[in-house]
Amino acid sequence: MNRRIIFIIAGILLIVVTGIRAQKPGMYTDGRHLYTSAGEKLILKGFNAMIVYWDIHGEINFPEIEKTGANSVRIFWKLADPHPEPADLDKVLGNSLKHNMIPIICLWDATGNWSKLQECVDYWCSPEIVLILQKYEKNLIVNIANEAGDKAVGDEVFIAAYTDAIKRMRRAGIRTPLMIDADQWGRNANSVLNTGNQLLDIDPDRNLIFSWHLWDSVNHGTGTREEIDRIIETAVERNICFVVGEFGPCERCENCASTRINWEYLIEKAFKHEIGYMPWVWRWTDCHSCVTNIPGKFGDWANEPWGESISVGHRYSIKNTAEKPKGMITPVDQ
């Protein structure tokens, strides 16, 4: 094949890829990375925030989280209690962007309960919610359901359920990246590693992020260094956009010392492989909290050394590693 033909083919491929990207209204995944609508790479670094219970619009928490330099916030949203209204969703997404953090809006109603996954999809696909998601779609990620399933459901069941979810949400007009949590309370990394590429193939937008939650202690399950290595290296090898959506200092607060999580090794490994991570949790009442519960201010660190270390002090803390692409945030039309 002569050089001219090679250049022609390359040009055609570039036009096709550019055209596909141009069709997406906001952020998109390409291989194992997430990009802004302007084409800038974005490695998600932020916090989980349970604001639906006490700060439903993020007016107290978001300004404090922003001080860490976080480029994103995973927003705890729950329908059963306290039953937020669509107007609350609109306001919390707008406030997150106002504070220069990508909102990752996530429903917690299916946590540990596989049978409730479809209820989450029903909510996202309801016409009034779709309109709100479309309003912010340039800078928004929708995490379909937090930790659906209390056990490994099997690859075939996982693919079938999320195939239906993806197709329904795309048909409803939701074009944002969709984040899919591992099953077994988020711990079973294999559920997303094994199915990621198949789910990408069925997504007309090929715009998916896969999330694993590390809640196993240093000597148990996925908590060992060997398993952390395997999981992250497999995600890289399979070229899927992969994040650590939750992790904390230990598995069980009542016995924190003996259920310690290898979080320092995790964030170093993830950083070196350009994989995002989001600690659990910015503000709460137990040992996983980064700041004291009331009022949840930056600098009022809780549970030393966890709170200060993961937020600002550690070499691979949010403060020291989060980057905000210049074109990430744009004013939202009100």
The string of pLDDT tens digits covering residues 184-223 is 999 999 999 999 999 999 999 999 999 999 999 998 889 9
Domains (ranges, CATH) in the chain? 3-321 (3.20.20.80)
Q: How confident is the model at residue 327 (pLDDT cuts 50, 70, 90)?
A: confident
pLDDT of residue 119: 98
- Tell me the C-alpha to C-alpha distance, in Å, between residue 91 and each of 52, 108, 149, 159: 12, 19, 30, 33
Q: How confident is the model at residue 171 (pLDDT cuts 50, 70, 90)?
A: very high
Q: pLDDT by residue (tens digit) across 296-317?
A: 999 999 998 999 999 999 999 9
- The pairing of strands 33-35 and 28-30 is antiparallel
Q: Nearest CA to 208 among 159, 281, 274?
A: 159
**Is residue 141's pLDDT more than 60?**
yes
Radius of gyration of the chain (CA): 19
What's the rounded Cα separation, in Å, for the pair 225 and 231?
10
Mean pLDDT, the chain, rounded, equals 93
Mean pLDDT value across residues 86-106: 97
**Is residue 66's pLDDT more than 90?**
yes
pTM, two decimals, is: 0.92
